[in-house]
Structure 1
Amino acid sequence: MKMTDEQLIALIEGEPNEELEAQLASDSNLKKRYDELKEVVEAMSTSGDVEVPFHVQAGVLSAIEKEKNKVSGNQSWLQIAAAVALLIIGFGAGKFSGTDSSNELMALKDEVQSLKEVTLTSTLQRYSASERIMAVNQIEEKGTVNKQLVSTLISTLNSDESPNVRYAALQALQKFINNEDVRAELVKSLEAQNDPLIQISMITILVEAEERSVIAPLKDIIEKEETTPEVKQQAEIAIQVLT
Protein backbone atom coordinates (compact mmCIF):
# COMPACT_ATOMS: atom_id res chain seq x y z
CA MET A 1 0.00 0.00 0.00
CA LYS A 2 1.41 3.37 -1.03
CA MET A 3 1.60 5.89 1.77
CA THR A 4 0.76 9.52 1.07
CA ASP A 5 2.57 12.59 2.33
CA GLU A 6 -0.54 13.45 4.32
CA GLN A 7 -0.28 10.14 6.20
CA LEU A 8 3.41 10.70 6.84
CA ILE A 9 2.76 14.21 8.14
CA ALA A 10 0.03 12.90 10.42
CA LEU A 11 2.45 10.33 11.84
CA ILE A 12 5.10 13.01 12.35
CA GLU A 13 2.57 15.10 14.24
CA GLY A 14 1.82 12.23 16.62
CA GLU A 15 -1.14 10.41 15.08
CA PRO A 16 -0.63 6.64 15.63
CA ASN A 17 -0.38 4.42 12.55
CA GLU A 18 1.03 0.95 13.22
CA GLU A 19 0.87 -0.11 9.57
CA LEU A 20 2.86 2.93 8.45
CA GLU A 21 5.40 2.50 11.24
CA ALA A 22 5.97 -1.11 10.17
CA GLN A 23 6.40 -0.07 6.55
CA LEU A 24 8.91 2.62 7.55
CA ALA A 25 11.03 -0.03 9.23
CA SER A 26 11.35 -2.04 6.01
CA ASP A 27 11.21 0.59 3.24
CA SER A 28 14.34 2.76 3.01
CA ASN A 29 12.86 5.07 0.37
CA LEU A 30 9.77 5.70 2.46
CA LYS A 31 11.97 6.32 5.52
CA LYS A 32 14.01 8.85 3.55
CA ARG A 33 10.83 10.65 2.52
CA TYR A 34 9.61 10.56 6.13
CA ASP A 35 12.86 12.13 7.34
CA GLU A 36 12.62 14.88 4.72
CA LEU A 37 9.04 15.69 5.67
CA LYS A 38 9.90 15.61 9.35
CA GLU A 39 12.63 18.20 8.79
CA VAL A 40 10.16 20.47 7.01
CA VAL A 41 7.37 20.03 9.55
CA GLU A 42 9.74 20.66 12.45
CA ALA A 43 10.98 23.83 10.76
CA MET A 44 7.38 24.97 10.43
CA SER A 45 6.65 24.19 14.05
CA THR A 46 9.58 26.33 15.24
CA SER A 47 8.58 29.40 13.25
CA GLY A 48 7.14 31.25 16.22
CA ASP A 49 3.49 31.72 17.04
CA VAL A 50 2.36 31.38 13.43
CA GLU A 51 0.13 28.36 12.95
CA VAL A 52 0.50 26.69 9.57
CA PRO A 53 -2.73 24.98 8.47
CA PHE A 54 -2.44 21.30 7.60
CA HIS A 55 -3.69 21.77 4.03
CA VAL A 56 -1.06 24.44 3.46
CA GLN A 57 1.66 22.14 4.78
CA ALA A 58 0.56 19.44 2.34
CA GLY A 59 0.43 21.90 -0.55
CA VAL A 60 3.87 23.27 0.14
CA LEU A 61 5.35 19.81 0.52
CA SER A 62 3.81 18.83 -2.81
CA ALA A 63 5.43 21.87 -4.45
CA ILE A 64 8.76 20.97 -2.87
CA GLU A 65 8.51 17.46 -4.31
CA LYS A 66 7.95 18.88 -7.81
CA GLU A 67 11.02 21.07 -7.44
CA LYS A 68 13.11 18.14 -6.19
CA ASN A 69 12.26 16.17 -9.32
CA LYS A 70 13.90 18.87 -11.45
CA VAL A 71 17.31 18.31 -9.89
CA SER A 72 19.14 15.53 -8.12
CA GLY A 73 21.40 14.65 -5.27
CA ASN A 74 22.78 17.20 -2.87
CA GLN A 75 20.66 20.08 -4.12
CA SER A 76 17.33 18.70 -2.87
CA TRP A 77 17.79 19.63 0.79
CA LEU A 78 18.65 23.18 -0.23
CA GLN A 79 15.37 23.46 -2.08
CA ILE A 80 13.47 22.09 0.91
CA ALA A 81 15.12 24.63 3.18
CA ALA A 82 14.37 27.43 0.72
CA ALA A 83 10.70 26.52 0.47
CA VAL A 84 10.32 26.23 4.23
CA ALA A 85 12.06 29.55 4.82
CA LEU A 86 9.76 31.26 2.34
CA LEU A 87 6.70 29.70 3.93
CA ILE A 88 7.76 30.95 7.35
CA ILE A 89 8.53 34.41 5.97
CA GLY A 90 5.18 34.48 4.20
CA PHE A 91 3.12 33.60 7.25
CA GLY A 92 5.21 35.79 9.54
CA ALA A 93 4.51 38.79 7.31
CA GLY A 94 0.79 38.06 7.22
CA LYS A 95 0.72 36.62 3.73
CA PHE A 96 -1.90 34.13 2.59
CA SER A 97 -4.40 36.17 4.59
CA GLY A 98 -6.93 36.12 1.77
CA THR A 99 -6.38 39.77 0.86
CA ASP A 100 -4.53 40.69 -2.31
CA SER A 101 -3.37 37.08 -2.52
CA SER A 102 -2.27 37.23 -6.16
CA ASN A 103 0.30 39.94 -5.44
CA GLU A 104 1.49 38.08 -2.37
CA LEU A 105 1.94 34.88 -4.34
CA MET A 106 3.82 36.71 -7.08
CA ALA A 107 6.16 38.19 -4.48
CA LEU A 108 6.65 34.76 -2.98
CA LYS A 109 7.48 33.30 -6.40
CA ASP A 110 10.11 36.00 -6.86
CA GLU A 111 11.65 35.07 -3.52
CA VAL A 112 11.65 31.39 -4.51
CA GLN A 113 13.37 32.29 -7.78
CA SER A 114 16.06 34.24 -5.94
CA LEU A 115 16.74 31.32 -3.63
CA LYS A 116 16.92 28.94 -6.59
CA GLU A 117 19.61 31.15 -8.10
CA VAL A 118 21.54 31.07 -4.83
CA THR A 119 21.23 27.27 -4.88
CA LEU A 120 22.60 27.08 -8.43
CA THR A 121 25.51 29.31 -7.51
CA SER A 122 26.27 27.15 -4.49
CA THR A 123 26.16 24.01 -6.63
CA LEU A 124 28.66 25.42 -9.11
CA GLN A 125 31.05 26.10 -6.26
CA ARG A 126 30.85 22.90 -4.25
CA TYR A 127 29.57 19.76 -5.94
CA SER A 128 30.80 17.13 -8.40
CA ALA A 129 31.54 17.87 -12.06
CA SER A 130 28.35 16.17 -13.24
CA GLU A 131 26.24 18.17 -10.77
CA ARG A 132 28.03 21.37 -11.78
CA ILE A 133 27.19 20.67 -15.42
CA MET A 134 23.55 20.11 -14.43
CA ALA A 135 23.54 23.44 -12.61
CA VAL A 136 25.02 25.21 -15.64
CA ASN A 137 22.38 23.64 -17.87
CA GLN A 138 19.62 24.82 -15.53
CA ILE A 139 20.99 28.35 -15.70
CA GLU A 140 21.04 28.14 -19.50
CA GLU A 141 17.42 26.97 -19.59
CA LYS A 142 16.31 29.98 -17.54
CA GLY A 143 16.75 32.32 -20.51
CA THR A 144 17.12 35.41 -18.34
CA VAL A 145 19.41 35.54 -15.34
CA ASN A 146 20.74 38.19 -13.01
CA LYS A 147 24.27 39.59 -12.93
CA GLN A 148 25.27 37.30 -10.08
CA LEU A 149 24.56 34.15 -12.09
CA VAL A 150 26.33 35.53 -15.16
CA SER A 151 29.31 36.36 -12.95
CA THR A 152 29.22 32.82 -11.58
CA LEU A 153 29.21 31.36 -15.10
CA ILE A 154 32.20 33.50 -16.04
CA SER A 155 34.05 32.44 -12.90
CA THR A 156 33.24 28.81 -13.72
CA LEU A 157 34.53 29.26 -17.26
CA ASN A 158 37.79 30.73 -15.98
CA SER A 159 38.56 28.51 -13.04
CA ASP A 160 36.65 25.22 -12.94
CA GLU A 161 39.00 22.25 -12.93
CA SER A 162 36.80 20.25 -15.31
CA PRO A 163 37.02 21.16 -19.04
CA ASN A 164 33.53 19.73 -19.49
CA VAL A 165 32.11 22.11 -16.89
CA ARG A 166 34.01 25.04 -18.44
CA TYR A 167 32.66 24.14 -21.87
CA ALA A 168 29.10 23.93 -20.50
CA ALA A 169 29.56 27.37 -18.91
CA LEU A 170 30.72 28.79 -22.24
CA GLN A 171 27.68 27.38 -24.03
CA ALA A 172 25.43 28.93 -21.39
CA LEU A 173 27.17 32.30 -21.71
CA GLN A 174 26.63 32.24 -25.46
CA LYS A 175 22.95 32.95 -24.81
CA PHE A 176 23.96 36.31 -23.33
CA ILE A 177 26.47 37.27 -26.00
CA ASN A 178 24.50 40.41 -26.83
CA ASN A 179 25.55 41.72 -23.44
CA GLU A 180 28.65 43.90 -23.84
CA ASP A 181 30.05 42.89 -20.45
CA VAL A 182 29.74 39.20 -21.31
CA ARG A 183 31.63 39.71 -24.58
CA ALA A 184 34.35 41.64 -22.77
CA GLU A 185 34.74 38.84 -20.21
CA LEU A 186 34.98 36.22 -22.96
CA VAL A 187 37.71 38.23 -24.69
CA LYS A 188 39.67 38.36 -21.41
CA SER A 189 39.06 34.68 -20.78
CA LEU A 190 40.27 33.52 -24.19
CA GLU A 191 43.99 33.85 -23.49
CA ALA A 192 43.64 32.02 -20.17
CA GLN A 193 42.04 28.95 -21.78
CA ASN A 194 44.20 25.96 -22.70
CA ASP A 195 41.64 23.43 -23.90
CA PRO A 196 41.49 23.50 -27.73
CA LEU A 197 37.76 22.74 -27.86
CA ILE A 198 36.99 25.65 -25.55
CA GLN A 199 39.38 27.96 -27.39
CA ILE A 200 37.88 27.19 -30.80
CA SER A 201 34.32 27.44 -29.48
CA MET A 202 35.06 30.77 -27.82
CA ILE A 203 36.69 32.15 -30.97
CA THR A 204 33.67 31.08 -33.02
CA ILE A 205 31.24 32.71 -30.60
CA LEU A 206 33.16 36.00 -30.58
CA VAL A 207 33.49 36.07 -34.36
CA GLU A 208 29.76 35.47 -34.77
CA ALA A 209 29.22 38.38 -32.36
CA GLU A 210 31.59 40.51 -34.50
CA GLU A 211 33.64 41.33 -31.42
CA ARG A 212 36.69 43.07 -32.90
CA SER A 213 38.38 43.62 -29.56
CA VAL A 214 39.37 39.95 -29.66
CA ILE A 215 41.82 40.53 -32.52
CA ALA A 216 44.77 41.40 -30.25
CA PRO A 217 44.30 38.30 -28.02
CA LEU A 218 43.99 36.18 -31.17
CA LYS A 219 47.36 37.43 -32.39
CA ASP A 220 48.89 36.56 -29.02
CA ILE A 221 47.42 33.07 -29.20
CA ILE A 222 48.93 32.53 -32.64
CA GLU A 223 52.37 33.50 -31.31
CA LYS A 224 52.26 31.05 -28.40
CA GLU A 225 54.24 27.86 -28.97
CA GLU A 226 51.83 25.75 -26.93
CA THR A 227 48.83 26.71 -29.08
CA THR A 228 47.70 23.76 -31.19
CA PRO A 229 47.73 24.07 -35.00
CA GLU A 230 43.94 23.78 -35.12
CA VAL A 231 43.48 26.70 -32.73
CA LYS A 232 46.06 28.80 -34.58
CA GLN A 233 44.24 28.16 -37.85
CA GLN A 234 40.91 29.14 -36.31
CA ALA A 235 42.47 32.29 -34.86
CA GLU A 236 43.94 33.27 -38.24
CA ILE A 237 40.59 32.80 -39.95
CA ALA A 238 38.89 34.83 -37.22
CA ILE A 239 41.31 37.73 -37.70
CA GLN A 240 40.63 37.72 -41.44
CA VAL A 241 36.88 37.79 -40.86
CA LEU A 242 37.04 40.60 -38.29
CA THR A 243 39.40 42.90 -40.22
Structure 2
Amino acid sequence: MHNKPSDGNRPGKHGARPRTKPAEVRLDELMSAAERLFLDKGVESTTINEIVEAAQVAKGTFYHYFSSKSEMLEALGKRYTEQFLARLETAVDACAEGDWVGRLGAWIHASVVTYVDTFRLHDIVYTNHHHHDRSNPARNAILDQLLGIIEGGMAAGLWAPENPRVVALLIYSGVHGATDEVIANQSKDCTAFAQAITASCLHMLGVFPESSPATPKQ
Protein backbone atom coordinates (compact mmCIF):
# COMPACT_ATOMS: atom_id res chain seq x y z
CA MET A 1 0.00 0.00 0.00
CA HIS A 2 1.49 3.32 -1.11
CA ASN A 3 1.47 6.40 1.06
CA LYS A 4 -0.19 9.39 -0.50
CA PRO A 5 2.18 12.37 -0.81
CA SER A 6 1.34 15.32 1.40
CA ASP A 7 0.48 18.69 -0.13
CA GLY A 8 3.93 20.07 0.71
CA ASN A 9 5.73 17.17 -1.05
CA ARG A 10 3.31 16.40 -3.86
CA PRO A 11 5.06 16.44 -7.26
CA GLY A 12 4.23 19.33 -9.55
CA LYS A 13 3.11 19.14 -13.15
CA HIS A 14 6.58 18.18 -14.35
CA GLY A 15 7.36 15.80 -11.49
CA ALA A 16 9.44 18.33 -9.46
CA ARG A 17 8.53 19.15 -5.91
CA PRO A 18 7.37 22.73 -5.36
CA ARG A 19 9.88 24.93 -3.61
CA THR A 20 9.16 26.11 -0.09
CA LYS A 21 10.42 29.53 0.89
CA PRO A 22 12.90 29.66 3.78
CA ALA A 23 11.32 30.71 7.06
CA GLU A 24 13.28 33.98 7.20
CA VAL A 25 12.08 34.95 3.71
CA ARG A 26 8.47 34.13 4.56
CA LEU A 27 8.74 36.18 7.77
CA ASP A 28 10.29 39.14 5.93
CA GLU A 29 7.54 39.07 3.30
CA LEU A 30 4.88 38.90 6.01
CA MET A 31 6.34 41.90 7.82
CA SER A 32 6.81 43.87 4.60
CA ALA A 33 3.19 43.26 3.63
CA ALA A 34 2.04 44.50 7.04
CA GLU A 35 4.32 47.52 6.76
CA ARG A 36 2.80 48.52 3.41
CA LEU A 37 -0.72 48.14 4.75
CA PHE A 38 0.03 50.08 7.93
CA LEU A 39 1.45 52.94 5.86
CA ASP A 40 -1.51 52.90 3.49
CA LYS A 41 -4.41 52.30 5.88
CA GLY A 42 -3.10 52.73 9.39
CA VAL A 43 -2.56 50.06 12.03
CA GLU A 44 -6.05 50.08 13.50
CA SER A 45 -7.75 49.82 10.10
CA THR A 46 -5.60 46.90 8.95
CA THR A 47 -6.76 43.39 9.79
CA ILE A 48 -4.68 40.27 10.18
CA ASN A 49 -6.69 38.72 7.35
CA GLU A 50 -5.58 41.55 5.06
CA ILE A 51 -1.95 41.10 6.11
CA VAL A 52 -1.85 37.36 5.37
CA GLU A 53 -3.72 37.88 2.10
CA ALA A 54 -1.23 40.54 0.98
CA ALA A 55 1.68 38.29 2.00
CA GLN A 56 0.00 35.25 0.35
CA VAL A 57 0.44 33.06 3.41
CA ALA A 58 -1.94 31.11 5.63
CA LYS A 59 -3.33 32.78 8.72
CA GLY A 60 -1.57 30.17 10.82
CA THR A 61 1.74 31.51 9.51
CA PHE A 62 1.00 34.86 11.12
CA TYR A 63 0.28 33.25 14.49
CA HIS A 64 3.38 31.10 14.14
CA TYR A 65 5.47 34.27 14.44
CA PHE A 66 3.22 36.73 16.26
CA SER A 67 0.46 36.55 18.84
CA SER A 68 -1.08 39.87 17.77
CA LYS A 69 -0.69 42.95 15.57
CA SER A 70 0.87 44.68 18.56
CA GLU A 71 3.63 42.09 18.74
CA MET A 72 4.21 42.40 15.00
CA LEU A 73 4.40 46.19 15.38
CA GLU A 74 7.12 45.76 18.00
CA ALA A 75 9.07 43.54 15.62
CA LEU A 76 8.65 46.11 12.84
CA GLY A 77 10.08 48.74 15.20
CA LYS A 78 13.19 46.65 15.81
CA ARG A 79 13.57 45.99 12.08
CA TYR A 80 13.20 49.71 11.35
CA THR A 81 16.02 50.59 13.76
CA GLU A 82 18.25 47.84 12.35
CA GLN A 83 17.70 49.13 8.81
CA PHE A 84 18.38 52.68 10.02
CA LEU A 85 21.66 51.49 11.52
CA ALA A 86 22.61 49.73 8.28
CA ARG A 87 22.14 52.94 6.27
CA LEU A 88 24.35 54.84 8.71
CA GLU A 89 27.02 52.15 8.51
CA THR A 90 27.03 52.31 4.71
CA ALA A 91 27.43 56.10 4.73
CA VAL A 92 30.22 56.06 7.34
CA ASP A 93 32.07 53.16 5.69
CA ALA A 94 32.20 55.15 2.43
CA CYS A 95 34.58 57.61 4.14
CA ALA A 96 38.32 57.11 4.48
CA GLU A 97 39.22 55.11 7.59
CA GLY A 98 40.91 57.99 9.42
CA ASP A 99 38.67 60.80 8.20
CA TRP A 100 36.84 61.39 11.49
CA VAL A 101 35.45 64.78 10.49
CA GLY A 102 34.09 63.23 7.30
CA ARG A 103 32.73 60.24 9.18
CA LEU A 104 30.91 62.44 11.67
CA GLY A 105 29.46 64.49 8.81
CA ALA A 106 28.42 61.32 6.95
CA TRP A 107 26.77 59.91 10.10
CA ILE A 108 24.79 63.10 10.69
CA HIS A 109 23.81 63.55 7.03
CA ALA A 110 22.68 59.91 6.76
CA SER A 111 20.72 60.25 10.01
CA VAL A 112 18.87 63.33 8.74
CA VAL A 113 18.16 61.94 5.26
CA THR A 114 17.10 58.50 6.51
CA TYR A 115 14.76 59.96 9.12
CA VAL A 116 13.21 62.32 6.54
CA ASP A 117 12.76 59.42 4.13
CA THR A 118 11.21 57.08 6.69
CA PHE A 119 9.49 59.29 9.27
CA ARG A 120 6.00 57.98 8.40
CA LEU A 121 7.04 54.43 9.22
CA HIS A 122 8.97 55.69 12.25
CA ASP A 123 5.83 57.34 13.61
CA ILE A 124 3.83 54.15 13.08
CA VAL A 125 6.20 51.66 14.71
CA TYR A 126 7.10 53.97 17.59
CA THR A 127 3.66 55.39 18.33
CA ASN A 128 3.57 53.99 21.85
CA HIS A 129 7.18 53.73 22.99
CA HIS A 130 8.95 55.99 20.45
CA HIS A 131 12.73 55.44 20.03
CA HIS A 132 13.68 56.11 23.66
CA ASP A 133 13.46 52.46 24.71
CA ARG A 134 16.56 52.13 26.91
CA SER A 135 16.61 48.37 26.40
CA ASN A 136 16.51 48.58 22.59
CA PRO A 137 19.83 46.97 21.51
CA ALA A 138 19.59 48.31 17.95
CA ARG A 139 19.05 51.87 19.22
CA ASN A 140 22.06 51.46 21.52
CA ALA A 141 24.07 50.15 18.57
CA ILE A 142 23.41 53.41 16.70
CA LEU A 143 24.58 55.40 19.73
CA ASP A 144 27.66 53.18 20.07
CA GLN A 145 28.43 53.74 16.39
CA LEU A 146 28.43 57.51 16.93
CA LEU A 147 30.48 57.13 20.10
CA GLY A 148 33.03 55.14 18.11
CA ILE A 149 33.43 58.05 15.69
CA ILE A 150 33.90 60.52 18.54
CA GLU A 151 36.44 58.28 20.27
CA GLY A 152 38.24 57.75 16.97
CA GLY A 153 38.60 61.51 16.57
CA MET A 154 39.87 61.73 20.14
CA ALA A 155 42.55 59.11 19.44
CA ALA A 156 43.59 61.08 16.35
CA GLY A 157 43.90 64.27 18.40
CA LEU A 158 41.11 66.11 16.56
CA TRP A 159 39.01 66.84 19.66
CA ALA A 160 39.08 66.10 23.37
CA PRO A 161 35.63 66.22 25.05
CA GLU A 162 35.64 65.59 28.79
CA ASN A 163 32.78 63.10 28.51
CA PRO A 164 32.51 61.61 24.99
CA ARG A 165 29.39 59.58 25.82
CA VAL A 166 27.51 62.71 26.91
CA VAL A 167 28.54 64.40 23.64
CA ALA A 168 27.34 61.34 21.70
CA LEU A 169 23.99 61.44 23.52
CA LEU A 170 23.59 65.16 22.80
CA ILE A 171 24.38 64.70 19.10
CA TYR A 172 22.17 61.61 18.81
CA SER A 173 19.16 63.28 20.44
CA GLY A 174 19.84 66.68 18.88
CA VAL A 175 20.03 65.39 15.32
CA HIS A 176 16.76 63.51 15.75
CA GLY A 177 15.00 66.49 17.30
CA ALA A 178 16.36 69.00 14.80
CA THR A 179 15.27 66.81 11.88
CA ASP A 180 11.68 67.03 13.13
CA GLU A 181 11.83 70.68 12.03
CA VAL A 182 12.82 69.66 8.50
CA ILE A 183 9.91 67.22 8.42
CA ALA A 184 7.47 69.80 9.80
CA ASN A 185 8.58 72.33 7.20
CA GLN A 186 8.31 69.68 4.46
CA SER A 187 11.77 70.58 3.16
CA LYS A 188 12.77 68.57 0.12
CA ASP A 189 16.52 69.19 0.23
CA CYS A 190 17.97 68.63 3.68
CA THR A 191 21.66 68.61 2.68
CA ALA A 192 22.35 72.19 3.77
CA PHE A 193 20.47 71.55 7.01
CA ALA A 194 22.57 68.44 7.69
CA GLN A 195 25.74 70.42 6.97
CA ALA A 196 24.67 73.12 9.44
CA ILE A 197 24.02 70.50 12.14
CA THR A 198 27.42 68.93 11.46
CA ALA A 199 29.16 72.30 11.75
CA SER A 200 27.42 72.93 15.08
CA CYS A 201 28.41 69.50 16.37
CA LEU A 202 32.03 70.11 15.33
CA HIS A 203 31.95 73.44 17.16
CA MET A 204 30.71 71.61 20.25
CA LEU A 205 33.75 69.36 19.91
CA GLY A 206 36.01 72.41 19.59
CA VAL A 207 36.65 72.04 15.86
CA PHE A 208 36.24 75.06 13.56
CA PRO A 209 37.27 73.97 10.06
CA GLU A 210 37.61 76.87 7.62
CA SER A 211 36.64 74.78 4.63
CA SER A 212 35.14 71.32 4.98
CA PRO A 213 32.38 69.32 3.29
CA ALA A 214 30.75 69.27 6.71
CA THR A 215 30.59 73.08 6.88
CA PRO A 216 27.96 74.93 4.85
CA LYS A 217 29.36 77.36 2.31
CA GLN A 218 28.61 81.00 2.88
**Shorter-chain TM-score tier:** 0.3 to 0.5
Q: Which one has more relative contact order, counting CA pairs under 8 Å at least 6 apart?
A: 2
TM, length-normalised to structure 2 = 0.34
Higher helix share: 1
Structure (1 or 2) with the larger CA radius of gyration: 1
